[in-house]
Amino acid sequence: MSSEKVTITVRLVRSFEHRNFRPVVYHDVNVNQSVKEFLNFLQNDIPSKPGLAPPFKKYTYDALKIIHQAHGAKTNDLVVSLDNDDQLMLKEASTLKEAGVAHETEVAFFKREDYETFKKNPVAIW
């Protein structure tokens, strides 16, 4: 398997309602790995990431969705777009490349249950 390395920004979404998120940049990510492998890597890496506040380190993230791709349209939603789940939600069996992840892609990493709840009532609390 060839290793195609890209830079990806992972937006850790702690709360959709409060628009509470932190971006973390990952360099040299192999896009030929499966989404499941990348999820496992992130779940192991986030808790020990220096500079992240404990609420972000201890949260249970389990889903990835593409927010923005380089030279592509960017969503107007401040945290993550609630549209196009079929196309933008990363499926574990796919490789990152098959899922549409390329150099300078930004993906949201969040708890699927929180996302589904927010989608039913997308009201931000400030």
pLDDT at 69 (0 to 100): 74
Per-residue pLDDT of the chain (126 residues; tens, 9 = 90+): 567 999 999 999 999 888 899 999 999 999 999 999 999 999 999 999 999 999 999 999 999 999 877 655 555 555 677 878 888 999 999 999 999 999 999 999 999 999 999 999 888 776
pLDDT at 73 (0 to 100): 52
pLDDT at 123 (0 to 100): 80
Q: CB burial class (10 A; 0-12, 13-18, 19+) of residue 22?
A: middle
Q: Where are the domains of the chain?
A: 5-120
Q: Among 3.40.1280.10, 3.10.20.90, 3.30.420.40, 3.30.465.10, name the CATH number for the domain at 5-120.
A: 3.10.20.90
Q: How many CB atoms lie within 10 A of CB 38?
A: 25
